[in-house]
């Protein structure tokens, strides 16, 4: 469930915690979670981080990239070795020992710290990719929401190309990368757009409004450290929680009063996924 803001916050944490550290060992507990040759990344230094949509990249000194996708329940937890009078105590996450039941991979660093990739449902993955493989792999991803080339005009052009519902188009990672269910629902609410509206029927003015809300809400969530919602397992790499869930407008608020008009928030399925909206503020054109 980590979407763009959550992955961006993870990127920022890791940039403070493991930049320039050297990986000395990789322990793969669940083979399906790690694709590629683990030996490719041993004894390599973490040189930089980047993010494209919901995917996080760690660029290593031998030009190999470790590409992460967290899907619904993936976590990265970084634990620093702290020597005490008793030696090296067991690493913990919220007072539970690590690795835990959901730990799929450990990355050990030369300074004694460990990065745990936890993923309850095993949908997430890590890939060790060469530059050519990375390019090949990411070529189907659309422009990242925070990329300067993701302009209002580009956004509107993409919407014009599709008669599908705006909700489905927002979630289409080949058009623009990073929008997930949380931010699609809330941006449509803030823009007064019913999620079943055809993408190509939005007026230029309304599309511009939606563009602005998408970016605003993304930046707002990043400043709140992302969303640790009811069902997701999102946490920061130091074990702390995000707080944007306290700022949801309609997401996961079925049956609650609309913030603007007190009408009951409804939930419908679009493309098999839950969509939350206010039937009064978001009218179908």
Active site residues: 2-3, 54, 273
- Residues 227-248, buried b or exposed e (16+ Cβ, 10 A)? bbbeebbbbbbeeeebebbeeb
CB 149 to DNA: min, Å: 20
Instruction: Write down the least CB distance from residue 44 to DNA, Å.
Output: 26
**Closest approach of Cβ 147 to DNA, in Å?**
16
Nearer to DNA (CB atom), residue 141 or residue 206: 141
Q: How far is the CB of 186 from DNA (least distance, A)?
A: 13
Pick 17 or 275: Cβ nearer DNA: 275
3-state class (DSSP) for residue 168: helix
Q: Exposed, middle or buried by CB within 10 Å (0-12, 13-18, 19+), for 52?
A: buried
* Enclosing H/E stretch for 177: strand 176-177
124 φ, ψ (degrees, to nearest 5):
-75, 165
The residues binding DNA (CB under 7 A) are 1, 32, 53-54, 69, 71-72, 101, 120-123, 140, 162-165, 168, 171, 173, 180-181, 231, 269, 271-274
**43 or 247: CB nearest DNA:** 247
Give 246's DSSP letter: G
Gap between the Cα atoms of 58 and 49, Å rounded? 5
């Amino acid at each position: 469930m980590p979407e763009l803001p959550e992955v961006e916050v993870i990127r920022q944490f890791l940039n403070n915690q493991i930049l320039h550290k050297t990986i000395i060992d990789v322990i793969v507990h669940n083979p399906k979670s790690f694709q590629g040759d683990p030996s490719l990344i041993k004894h390599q230094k973490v040189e930089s981080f980047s993010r494209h949509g919901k995917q996080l990249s760690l660029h290593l000194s031998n030009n190999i990239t470790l590409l992460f996708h967290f899907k619904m329940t993936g976590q990265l937890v970084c634990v620093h070795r702290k020597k005490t009078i008793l030696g090296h105590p067991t690493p913990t996450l919220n007072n539970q020992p690590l690795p835990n039941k959901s730990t799929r991979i450990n990355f050990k660093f030369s300074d004694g710290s460990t990065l745990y990739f936890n993923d309850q449902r095993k949908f997430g993955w890590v890939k060790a990719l060469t530059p050519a493989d990375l390019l090949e792999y990411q070529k189907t991803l659309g422009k990242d929401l925070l990329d300067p080339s993701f302009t209002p005009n580009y956004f509107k052009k993409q919407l014009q190309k599709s008669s599908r519902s705006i909700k489905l188009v927002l979630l289409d990672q080949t058009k623009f990368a990073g929008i997930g269910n949380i931010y699609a629902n809330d941006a449509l609410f803030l823009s007064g757009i019913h999620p079943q509206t055809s993408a190509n029927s939005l007026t230029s003015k309304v599309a511009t409004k939606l563009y602005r809300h998408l970016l605003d809400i993304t930046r707002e969530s990043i400043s709140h450290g992302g969303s640790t919602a009811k069902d997701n397992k999102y946490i920061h790499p130091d074990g702390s929680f995000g707080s944007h869930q306290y700022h949801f407008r309609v997401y996961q608020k079925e049956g609650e009063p609309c913030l603007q008009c007190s009408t009951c928030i409804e939930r419908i399925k679009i493309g098999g996924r839950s969509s939350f909206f206010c039937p009064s503020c978001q009218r179908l054109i």
